Chain A
Amino acid sequence: MSTRLSTAGRLIDTAKPIKFSFNGKTLQGYAGDTLASALLANDQLLVGRSFKYHRPRGVVAAGAEEPNGLVNLGSNGTFEPNQRITTTELFDGLSATSQNHWPSLEFDVGSINTHLARFLPAGFYYKMFIHPRPLWKHVYEPFIRQSAGLGKAPKDRDADTYEHFNCTVDVLVIGGGIAGLAAAAEAGRTGARVLLIEQTAAWGGRAVVDQPTIDGQTAADWVTTTLAGLAAMENVDIRTRTMGAGVYDHGYVLAYERLRDHAPKASGPRHRLWRIRARQIVTATGAIERPLSFAGNDLPGVLLASAVRDYAVNFGVGIGDRTVIATNNDDAYRTALALHDAGLQVPVILDARAKGGGELADQARAKGIRVENGKAIASVKGGKRVTGVSVCLQAGQGAVLEEISCDCVAMSGGWSPVVHLWSHCGGKLTWDEAQAMFRPNNDRPPTGADGEAMVIAAGTANGHLYTAEAIADGWSAGRAAAHAAGFTAKPEAIPDGSDVPELPLTPVWMMPQGAGYDLRSKSWLDFQNDVKVSDVQLAAQEGFESVEHAKRYTTLGMATDQGKLSNINGLATLSGALNIPIPSVGTTTFRPPYTPISMGAIAGVARDDLFQPIRKTPISGWHESNRADFEPVGQWRRPYAFVHKGESVHDAVKREVTNTRTNVGLLDASTLGKILVKGPDAGRFLDMLYTNMMSNLAVGKCRYGLMCSENGFLMDDGVVARIDDDTWLCHTTTGGADRIHAWMEDWLQCEWWDWKVYTANLTEQFAQIAVVGPKARQVLEKMGGMDVSKEALPFMQWADGTIGGFDARVFRISFSGELSYEIAVPASQGRAFWDALLSAGAEFGMMPYGTECLHVLRAEKGFIMIGDETDGTVIPQDLNLGWAISKKKDDYLGKRAQERSHMADPNRWKLVGLETLDGSVIPDGAYAVAEGMNPNGQRNTQGRVTSTYFSPTLGKGIAMGLVLHGPDRMGEVIEMTKGDGTYIKARIVDQVFYDKAGEKQDV
């Protein structure tokens, strides 16, 4: 059984017991445990179920590469699914539950899938679920939805806080094993600013488990000495629990620090996302051991040999009393020796190499451990945990020679350098035939802005598995990185590591070599996603020869572990099936992050009020305290309506419309863009920007204008006022202000850079208030000041003056069809002016109105709205706005595009008004249907609604829409979709529903 040993673990403190719970059961561990080691110490081998077949799964690894040990942690606001138990440090009160099973971990209904495995091969989803359609809807989709996804999404708000941290360093060293420590120490000695980060809580990587000698000391002592040296250097920072998540362009690196996952009661942010700019990056990210592919390699109790050793040495946990070791290399013998030293039995070491191992094998034999060369595991016995193995020849087809009982299998298929961070930003790999691994191709590193290398791989991550080589490689990487960043120091002695010589491994991609289908279909490559050797072979056979295609077809490496254990074995299997060399198969793309990082860390403090700052007008405060129902408009929030007590929002809109048409309304129009365009060439410039003429606009007058993209499509509109001889003020839509200002600057800086024009976006410098309605003039006259009579200030003119003592610029423009003054005052005076208007207007029944009333008013008048009548595919001509397109001008932006034949096509849908026969409101987005069906069996269309409202003024639904030959079909009745399969009849009418002659606005 899996239990705590009497021998001490390096990392645990048995004086500090810790209580935690798993699936409701209270268990005990020690300070320093991971959740995985504590569960294993309690004989909890079974930790989850696989994704597809719901097979029982146990811990395989001891680190970030773990594919199976994923649990739900915490509850309510701290609930988080898919937490890796091998990287979860134990704390008092930790509460975990297992995932992907029903009703319980021990008895899971979904495991029936494992008996259907023959019917669920690679590509099953693609093949089976395409036909027939009804089955998809009623059978497949519910089944897939129910079984989709590991874990459950949290329901509650995340109760924790997160933050980002920006920093700049000369040398960033990722990985705190001996190579990373040596690199940081040597770089630090040059005076370079160095940051060393390590993903776990402890330094030293694998060396402190296996304890080779370095500089005459144990590896642990060397690590302690080196850390003390680093701590003494002011230019060096070191961080544990901080993972290098991704390497990006020009030395940009994201690191993920877990500040309180191990101490949830501490204060401060839970995670910190480091945004690092490094001149040079050293990736000393170590290596990951590969599983072997034999039948039953997914049973709980089958672990990586290094993990079995880690649990014994670091945590004092024995996975089994009797451990069979299967290997193709010398390193796994260290596990046998460690277990033997801990008093556990190793009944046999099965070494797949015909000639077996070297000195370490001799040491094992010397301790009386049975070693069998050229032997392999034919299959593992057991259900929810290992009970034994059957032994065969590696060179054969799996004929069983012997059965050996055991409760643990330690496997080693060799080591793969962690090349993820090297590869993220373009570092290339090379296949090392002798060590059967992809390692960094140091001739083709990721490059920075200067075209020179910006990443140096070091240690085992660079393919140097021996201690002496790894530490020397780290030392020289640190030195080279500092040098490239502009720092040098006199060299000191290279740290001197010692090693037991090893014999080379023999690649073993299938065990035994001639395994038949029966064995191959039980040999797992991807434990989490249930991909077997036979699946990859089937993919190859069915033509998925590219590794990227095979990956997607089989889902190999697509689980939350991103194939850290499975990828190399998978592509070696693919290589074998295709009969092409492994380097020709290549690897799939390594994408950040290295292991999943929390959504909270990505968001940082950008949540709630800080998620996106809200732009506020000078009058927003009044809106907030006067029952405004807000709607977002760009980054602004504008009042949709001001809802009186006892009213619905719809009632409020009706009241606001009626009051504005009969008395007087007040609109906060401050968000409208106001761009000043000034200079000797300003008129010429605006003639290029607008489809109509602006250069001939008289001083003091206003003109409505349209802007098109170079592709001819209408992109913004607004009223332009000529301020003086060389100054124009351009009003834009609320959402368009910044975009149009940038658009102007683009043309002025990049195309017509010799034109003398200056632009300034004055949007926020002024508060602008529209006083709208038949009694608007009476309100202003009561306030006193400038002459606002029709004679002094006619329609479509503007004037500067004072109103009620406020400095004001008054525009006689109307977006409602009523008598209307748009009055701009300095932003600082906006609120006071608003208040003054309200008190002056009280006796005239003045009421503020919101954006929906504005929309209804303009729709009743048939005015278009950018974003309603336009969608990026509409030209002014579609909207019958040909009158606003100058025929005199040789050129304007969009003119050439509008000359194209399709733009002049008489079959383009054109704007008309629509009025339902029964007075109801046409639904938003409704289409006008035409005779017949299209090839997809849908009704043909001949138009669509662009704006649709209930008009309180007319007491019925009104709409505008684009209709085929619409303006030529006045009076004709067409059918509009209602969205529920039925249709509504509407008559094509003039788009102006109210005051067609335009008399009311011109009084």
Chain B
Amino acid sequence: MLILECPYCGVHADETELAPGGEAHLKRFGPGSDIDDFEGYLFMRENPKGLHFERWRHAYGCGKWFLAARCTATLEVFGTYPAQSAEPPQSIKDAITAKRPGWSWRDFA
């Protein structure tokens, strides 16, 4: 059972306080978009054994959505940050680089 720090209220929240929201940093494709883009947005997910970026909601706490960078294999957490982020902040990227040099995830590295 994971513990993630909510970047809004600062609580180190037990997984029972959180609701998972799947993969982070999805780009929405709306009406008129290419069918492959739309398929990618709606269905294609990374499912890595290793570094992953996820959406979580502090559902039984402050109610805010946030994003987490963690390793699905070792359960290491590299950091959490607000959902209003188009890409992981540099501090999170640096924390990952320190532990996983040369990492990449989708378009991020």
Contacts and interface: CB of A to CB of B under 8 A. Distances in A.
A425 B1 CA distance: 10
A426 B1 contact: no
A67 to B, nearest CB: 31
A895 B31 CA distance: 6
A426 B30 contact: no
B59 A896 contact: no
Given A746-B65, A753-B83, A451 B74 contact: yes
A449 B1 contact: no
A451 B83 contact: no
Interface in B49-86: 55, 57, 59, 63-65, 71, 73-77, 83-84
Contacts of B99: 451
Contacts of B11: none
A899 B83 CA distance: 29
Interface string A880-892: 0000000000110
A750 B65 contact: yes
Contacts of B106: none
Contacts of B57: 742, 745-746
Residue of A426, A750, A890 most packed against chain B (CB within 10 A): A750
A759 to B, nearest CB: 10
A28 interface: no
A447 B15 CA distance: 17
Contacts of B64: 749
A896 B65 contact: no
B23 to A, nearest CB: 12
Interface stretch (A248-256, A372-380, A923-931): A248-256
A749 B84 contact: yes
A890 B32 CA distance: 9
A897 B32 CA distance: 10
A249 B1 contact: yes
Nearest to B99: A451
Contacts of A742: 19, 57, 59
Interface string A894-908: 011101100000000
A863 B17 CA distance: 38
A890 B15 CA distance: 39
Contacts of B75: 249-250, 425-426, 447-449
A684 to B, nearest CB: 14
Contacts of A250: 1-3, 75
Interface residues of B, number: 30
A248 B32 CA distance: 46
Contacts of A426: 73-75
B84 A753 contact: yes
A711 interface: yes
A896 B38 contact: yes
A749 B42 CA distance: 19
Contacts of B65: 745-746, 749-750
A249 B2 contact: yes
Contact of A449 (B3, B28, B63): B3
Contacts of A899: 31-32
A897 B83 contact: no
Contacts of A710: 28, 42
A900 B35 contact: yes
A750 B15 CA distance: 20
B17 to A, nearest CB: 13
Contacts of A751: 28
B1 A252 contact: yes
Contacts of B32: 896, 899
Contacts of B3: 249-250, 277, 449
Nearest to B1: A252
Interface in B11-55: 15, 19, 21, 28-33, 35, 38, 42, 55
Contacts of A750: 21, 55, 65, 83-84
Interface residues of A, number: 28
A443 interface: no
Given A249-B2, A745-B65, A896 B29 contact: yes
Contacts of B55: 750
Contact of A749 (B19, B29, B74, B83): B83
Contacts of B42: 710-711, 897
Contacts of A249: 1-3, 15, 75
A450 interface: yes
A761 B65 CA distance: 17
B95 to A, nearest CB: 10
Contacts of B31: 890-891, 895-896, 899
Contact of A248 (B1, B28, B74, B83): B1
Given A451-B99, A742-B57, A896 B30 contact: yes
A252 B12 CA distance: 14
A830 B61 CA distance: 29
Nearest to A754: B84
Contacts of B30: 891, 895-896
A151 B12 CA distance: 44
Contacts of B2: 249-250, 449
Interface in A264-281: 277
A145 to B, nearest CB: 37
A80 B85 CA distance: 54
A130 B74 CA distance: 42
A745 B33 CA distance: 25
Nearest to A252: B1
Contacts of A896: 29-33, 38
Interface in A745-794: 745-746, 749-751, 753
B31 to A, nearest CB: 5
Contacts of A447: 74-76
Interface in A432-451: 447-451
A451 B1 contact: no
Nearest to B77: A449
B29 A451 contact: no
A622 to B, nearest CB: 31
Contacts of A425: 75
A603 to B, nearest CB: 16
B44 to A, nearest CB: 14
Contacts of A711: 42
A447 B3 CA distance: 13
A450 B28 contact: no
Interface string A721-755: 00000000000000000000010011001110100
A425 B76 CA distance: 12
A121 B84 CA distance: 61
B11 to A, nearest CB: 14
A901 to B, nearest CB: 9
A896 B57 CA distance: 26
A750 B42 CA distance: 16
A450 B76 contact: yes
Contacts of A897: 38, 42
A249 B32 CA distance: 43
Contacts of A277: 3
Contacts of B71: 451
Nearest to A751: B28
A814 B41 CA distance: 39
Contacts of B63: 745
A273 to B, nearest CB: 14
A355 to B, nearest CB: 45
Interface of B: 1-3, 15, 19, 21, 28-33, 35, 38, 42, 55, 57, 59, 63-65, 71, 73-77, 83-84, 99
28 contacts: A249-B1, A249-B75, A250-B3, A426-B74, A447-B74, A447-B76, A448-B76, A449-B2, A449-B77, A451-B76, A710-B28, A711-B42, A742-B57, A745-B63, A745-B65, A746-B65, A749-B64, A750-B21, A750-B55, A753-B83, A753-B84, A890-B31, A891-B30, A895-B30, A895-B31, A896-B32, A896-B33, A896-B38
Given A249-B1, A895-B31, 10 more contacts: A249-B3, A249-B15, A250-B3, A447-B76, A451-B76, A742-B19, A742-B57, A750-B84, A753-B84, A897-B38
Task: Sort A-B residue pairs by CB-CB distance and give the 4 closest, nearest first.
Answer: A451-B76, A753-B84, A252-B1, A749-B65
